[in-house]
Structure 1
């Protein structure tokens, strides 16, 4: 099959993920059964277990899928393998991030609920940190005494914190406003 993912498998997994997400909006994960998930997704338990060993693996798949989607939106805003340093480029990156969250607000509101997905925020923070560490080349050049890992973690935690604040506030601010505030924050350190 030369590395291609079977579309039927992807569709089945997507349907199962979406059924779980629909159910978890109103229920705790521990209260859900595989039968309930598969019934809503229009599959049987055998199909579920062909793709997942259990609900924990399904939850991890949902988290990984969301993080991959998030990172795929951030990555293109980097220029020549480096994090955008100028305020103009940072503005573009920030708008991209907050617009993506806004466009997927139902999903992110659910994922940021620590009672439903307790590991999501930490995993998102870690993924952003890894991306920053792999793409920030300027730290060595300009800040030789700066701990690169600590800097990247702090920046990723700040971004996740801003997103969490925005969600908890019920998205009362626009994505543009959140991006502008991020840029204003960056200007403090210019």
Structure 2
């Protein structure tokens, strides 16, 4: 019985070491891809270049991912899960107020939490919102936050709604990307208010404020 006990302990210790090695390997590959994507589109990056930068064998890479696109997809899924978790921590009901804290399908607090996550993971966020990533992720993140939710009354036809959604996605992504590139000078709460005001009230609302 004593021998069996020590065998179990040894097996558990070995498993923990293996788990740590896997976690370290995945982290190294993830960081390598993000670094490469700061200068290159995902389509121009090879598994070899990722492995060389991460100092990981290609055979090890293929134990975890099919190719560079699969690695990027898993990173995107992790980000989506983190953003979803942040959204669950924020209130979902909208206040009936005449400012951006109560307009639209996302609250000011929820938007602030998303931007706080982006600021904490600035290098990753810059890459995922840049032209070196794929448009699908940017669309998915906007859908998750409901930042460009369609009008509920269905007063617009499908083509016009598509124009509005495209405008909303591109505008929000461009604002967030510029904020990240310039070092997140504004606090997340202040920048969240700016994004929501532009999206739901338009740029003319700033002119009205100055009058």
Please indicate the TM-score interval, normalised by the length of the shorter structure. Answer: 0.5 to 0.7
Partners in 2 of 1:34 and 1:184 — Cα distance?
42
Residue 3 of structure 1 corresponds to which residue in structure 2?
Answer: none
Corresponding residue pairs, total: 164
Q: Is the 8 A contact 1:166 1:172 kept in 2?
A: no
Q: Which structure has the larger Rg?
A: 2
* Unpaired stretches in structure 2, ≥5 consecutive residues: 1-18, 96-100, 202-211
Partners in 1 of 2:128 and 2:200 — Cα distance?
30
* 1:128 Cα deviation from its structure 2 partner: 3.0
For the aligned residue pairs, the C-alpha RMSD in angstroms reads 3.5
Moved over 6 A (4+): 185-188
* Unpaired stretches in structure 1, ≥5 consecutive residues: 1-5, 133-142
Partners in 2 of 1:180 and 1:167 — Cα distance?
16
Partners in 2 of 1:11 and 1:61 — Cα distance?
16
Distance change >3 Å, CA 27–CA 180, structure 1 → 2: closer
- Higher RCO (C-alpha 8 Å, min separation 6): 1
Please report the TM-score for the alignment, with normalisation by the length of structure 2: 0.61
1:103-144 deviation digits (Å, cap 9, x = unpaired) = 222221111112333322012123334xx9xxxxxxxxxx8x
Residue 43 of structure 1 corresponds to which residue in structure 2?
Answer: 56
1:99-114 paired onto structure 2 within 5 Å: 99-114=116-131
- 3-state SS of 1:102 partner: helix
